[in-house]
Amino acid sequence: MVTEYHIPVLLNTAVSYLINPVIRNHVLVDGTLGGGSYSKLICESVPGGSRLIAIDKDENSITFAAEILKDYREKISIRQGNFADVGQIVTEEGFVSITGIVLDLGLSSYQLNEEAGFSFMKNTPLDMRADKNSELDARTILNEYKEKELTEIFEEYGEISKASRLSKAVVEARRRQAIETTEDFIKIIKREYGFKSALPVKFLSKLFQALRIAVNDELNDLKKVLTDAFDIMIEGGRIVVVSYHSLEDRIVKNFFREHSEKAVQAGKALKILTKKVVTPEYPEVRSNTRSRSAKLRAAEVVIA
Ligand SMILES: C[S@@+](CC[C@H](N)C(=O)[O-])C[C@H]1O[C@@H](n2cnc3c(N)ncnc32)[C@H](O)[C@@H]1O
């Protein structure tokens, strides 16, 4: 396994927003364990007696991060699972409430570089499942979904206009031969749009993003985790989300707004800690290009 599993983005900023210094005994959730850098810094930063529940869908992350975090066994529980099931996972760990959750969304560099289907730079089977136990993969979507459903996926999740032309080309191509690999899919795109030699990188990124979101049901999972984590969060608890594209960021922004002190008359509400969205400084962007699209938002639970 590669040693550089993932270079964390906005690491110190995310962890310092997450830990409310007023709280003494934390029960925190890292919903996206990845290579374990966030979890490691959280373990190093919380007072003794605190607990961290670290979750990832991907068994490669669990294996890699368990080794990185082996010195913190008394503080951390590592769980393979979906962050959308946060309520159930926290209950199974023996807690009724949490003092914060951090989500660093999307993919790790390991997934992008080593796991099948995620990257258009490599010819691999069209898989794209972060959780290899789940049934739906990108191959099934491209070969079995109706033309209209494909158009919806490309337009909604890839933010591509007039995508019916591509869906039509996909449906025609699969009548002749099943679409099995990233290269098969790229050939269809190139043929339909007349791209010759250079890869249309932005366009391909959007299409691969669209498929990935559909395969992993990413937007619904994000909506569910925000709602369920908020429900079990104590006063002073914090929600921190680092997102990498506008669809995710919009969901977070709207959730914060709908639950803000202004919107809620009485009861549990959110005080938004990041009045303006936080983005990485230039040195981080220069040393880690993946960080350039990162957007961090944080909020604290208050009683209105
Ligand atoms: C950007 S990486 C996180 C990197 C991590 N912060 C670190 O310090 O290395 C995102 C991780 O979230 C995981 N992930 C994405 N969606 C998930 C979900 N719904 N439930 C659990 N894990 C998820 C991915 O498998 C991936 O390992």
Is the Cβ atom of 32 under 6 angstroms away from ligand 1? yes
Structure tokens at 287: 């040393």
- Please give the number of the atom of ligand 1 that sits closest to the Cα of 110: 27
- Please give the number of the atom of ligand 1 that sits closest to the Cα of 61: 27
| Rounded distance between C-alpha atoms, residue 252 and residue 103, angstroms | 11
Number of H helices, E strands in the chain: 13, 7
Residue-wise pLDDT tens digits, 88-120? 999 999 999 999 999 999 999 999 889 999 999
- Please give the number of the atom of ligand 1 that sits closest to the Cα of 34: 27
Say if residue 202 is exposed, middle or buried (CB neighbours under 10 Å; 0-12, 13-18, 19+).
Answer: exposed
Q: Which mutation among 18, 53, 56 tests ligand 1's pocket best, with the greatest number of atoms within 8 A of CB? A: 56
Tokens 């790229």 found at = 186
User: What is the band of 3 on the pLDDT scale with cuts at 50, 70, 90?
Assistant: low
Same fold, 11-110+218-303 and 133-216: no
Q: What percent of the chain has pLDDT over 90?
A: 91
Least confident span in 91-105, 109-123, 171-185, 213-227: 109-123
Of all protein residues, whose CA lies closest to atom 13 belonging to ligand 1? 32
Mean pLDDT of 159-172: 96
The amino acid sitting at 275 is: K
Angle formed at CA 14 by CA 292 and CA 58, multiple of 5 degrees: 80
Mean pLDDT of 34-43: 97
Residue-wise pLDDT tens digits, 238-292? 999 999 999 999 999 999 999 999 898 889 999 999 999 999 999 999 999 889 9
Beta strands in 58-212 (DSSP E): 76-80, 98-104
- Average per-residue pLDDT for the chain: 95
Indicate if the pLDDT at residue 4 is higher than 50: yes
Is the Cβ atom of 244 under 6 angstroms away from ligand 1? no
For the chain, give every domain's residue range.
11-110+218-303, 133-216
Structure tokens at 270: 């959110």
pLDDT of residue 2: 45
- Please give the number of the atom of ligand 1 that sits closest to the Cα of 84: 19
Is the Cβ atom of 34 under 6 angstroms away from ligand 1? yes
How many whole angstroms from 32 Cα to the centroid of ligand 1? 3
Is the Cβ atom of 119 under 6 angstroms away from ligand 1? no
Q: What percent of the chain has pLDDT over 70?
A: 99
What is the signed CA dihedral for 96, 97, 102, 103, rounded to 10 degrees? Answer: 50
Contacts for 280 with CB less than 8 Å, ≥ 6 apart: 9, 10, 288, 291, 292, 294
Cβ atoms of residues 89 and 81 within 8 Å: yes
Is the Cβ atom of 61 under 6 angstroms away from ligand 1? yes
Q: Which CATH architecture has domain 11-110+218-303?
A: 3-Layer(aba) Sandwich (3.40)
| Rounded distance between C-alpha atoms, residue 35 and residue 269, angstroms | 32
Is the Cβ atom of 100 under 6 angstroms away from ligand 1? no
Cβ atoms of residues 128 and 138 within 8 Å: yes
Is the Cβ atom of 79 under 6 angstroms away from ligand 1? no
CA dist 170 to 16, 161, 162, 215, 295, Å?
46, 16, 14, 17, 33
pLDDT of residue 22: 96
CATH 3.30.420.40 is held by the domain 133-216: no
Is the Cβ atom of 243 under 6 angstroms away from ligand 1? no
Is the Cβ atom of 129 under 6 angstroms away from ligand 1? no
Is the Cβ atom of 38 under 6 angstroms away from ligand 1? yes
Contacts for 244 with CB less than 8 Å, ≥ 6 apart: 105, 106, 293, 294, 295
More confident residue, 39 or 194: 39
User: What is the band of 212 on the pLDDT scale with cuts at 50, 70, 90?
Assistant: very high
Neighbour count for residue 151 (Cβ, 10 Å): 20
pLDDT of residue 253: 98
Mean pLDDT of 140-155: 98
- Please give the number of the atom of ligand 1 that sits closest to the Cα of 81: 21
Of all protein residues, whose CA lies closest to atom 4 belonging to ligand 1? 34
Indicate if the pLDDT at residue 304 is higher than 90: no
DSSP structure class, residue 194? T
Q: Which mutation among 1, 108, 227 tests ligand 1's pocket best, with the greatest number of atoms within 8 A of CB? A: 108
